[in-house]
Structure 1
Amino acid sequence: MTTVSGPTSARAHRLADDEPVTVVFSWRAKPGKEEEFARWAKGLASAAAHFPGNLGATVIHEKGSRDFHIIEQFVNRQALQRWLNSDERARLHQMVRDIADARTAVQQRTGLETWFYVPSHAEETIKPPPRWKQWLVSLIAVYPLVLLFQAFVVPRLAGWPLWARAAMFPLIILTLMTYVVMPIVSRLLRRWLYRGY
């Protein structure tokens, strides 16, 4: 394993801290407690979704399975840490002791990749949906932004130097994709994206 240290790694770490982060908590309910656990998981996801800095929270559960995956997305690691340390979350976790067999995995992702990763099984790594689904969802998300950019922003930049005009496109589009559009689109299409998981 290679460890990178020095200014470059410190700068990369700071950038990662400011990126959106997704954390997946994988749990296994006790036998016969699946319905009760499902209610608890939905309550936890709802509480996380209303917590400051949260971009979305959902529960993935395949019918007939005791495995549950609670996915929480936050604007950055600091917001996630505030939720993890909150009294509200601690209170909810006190309630799960009698209905959970075990928490089987905790996984995190940062950056744009967060919108396309969920667990396949509790013991396995997080994997994305098929590439064609990622492509289609990204296209659906980015096309209206490009259209609006061309219609309303480009005409106002006509007198700018080429390098400045070119810089505005990724700056505006990527910022909106990361913090506004993709959280909404991926949440709306989550069932379709992860069907079969």
Structure 2
Amino acid sequence: MSASPVTLMVARRVARERYDDFMLWLREGEQLATDFPGYLGSGVLAPPADDDEFQIVFRFADETTLASWEHSASRRAWLTRGQGLFAQPHEQRVQGIDAWFGAADRRAPRWKQSMAIWLAFFPVSLGFNLAFGGWLSDLPLALRTFISTLALTPLMTYWFIPLATHWLDPWLHKRQAQRVPAPGLPSAH
């Protein structure tokens, strides 16, 4: 079993007329999870206007605490109460940076992942330095760096990078169009 944080990513397709019921049910599940040792938090990304798939993330301290929650009677009862609210459930367990970029079969190339992280980190880091740079400027470089990374890492990990990857999802997972030659023309290789 792993001693590092683990994320359970859940995709649920929900009919638009059931969104409110689904959100109430989901909040109940998040509340149930807070009672389990090792629960680190959860979040929901609503689908874009042209889709119906919600992305839900539950994060636990390690595999053991996640398994305890996953196999609990309270979670089973909660899942039973949710039957009929969603279709095509899909669950995936991920660790580390992979939690931000989706399932292995549709994970974006590393260069796109790097760009998404940078696009999240730059404005947040700039804002932090504009807000606190003057106050921190008299401190030694190592202490300034320690304070800024201590403040920004949780914000980036739990809020800004997941938000950026959600907003950038169409670009991150854009499939390269395959060129099909016009009829009667040879394909270029």
Match of residue 22, structure 2, among 33, 37, 40? 37
Secondary structure of 1:39's match? helix
Which residue number corresponds to residue 106 of structure 1? 91
Q: What letter is aligned with 2:40?
A: L
Which residue number corresponds to residue 165 of structure 1? none
Secondary structure of 2:83's match? coil
Match of residue 115, structure 2, among 132, 148, 155? 132
Which residue number corresponds to residue 195 of structure 1? 167
Cα distance 1:136–1:101, how it changes in 2: closer, same or farther (>3 A)? closer
Contact 2:8 2:91 in 1 (8 A): yes
Tell me the TM-score normalized by structure 1. Answer: 0.59
Query: What is the CA deviation profile of residues 79-118 of structure 1, one whole-angstrom value per residue up to 9, with x for unaligned ones?
Result: 1101101222122111111212231x2212123x145234
Tell me the TM-score normalized by structure 2. Answer: 0.61
Cα distance in 2 for partners of 1:21, 1:66 equals 26
Q: What letter is aligned with 1:96?
A: G
Unaligned runs of 5+ in 1: 1-13, 153-171
Alignment of 1:147-186 (within 5 A): 150-151=142-143, 182-186=153-157
CA shift, 1:135, in A, is 3.1
Cα distance 1:108–1:25, how it changes in 2: closer, same or farther (>3 A)? same
Query: What is the CA deviation profile of residues 146-177 of structure 1, one whole-angstrom value per residue up to 9, with x for unaligned ones?
Result: x888239xxxxxxxxxxxxxxxxxxx9xxx98
Q: What letter is aligned with 1:195?
A: W
Query: What is the CA deviation profile of residues 166-193 of structure 1, one whole-angstrom value per residue up to 9, with x for unaligned ones?
Result: xxxxxx9xxx98xx96444322323344
Aligned positions, number: 152
Match of residue 3, structure 2, among 5, 15, 18? 18
Which residue number corresponds to residue 184 of structure 2? none
CA shift, 1:30, in A, is 4.1
Which residue number corresponds to residue 158 of structure 1? none
Secondary structure of 2:36's match? coil
Cα distance 1:31–1:150, how it changes in 2: closer, same or farther (>3 A)? closer
Q: CA RMSD in A?
A: 3.8
Cα distance 1:57–1:115, how it changes in 2: closer, same or farther (>3 A)? same
CA shift, 1:24, in A, is 0.7
Larger Rg: 2
Identical counterparts, % of pairs: 18
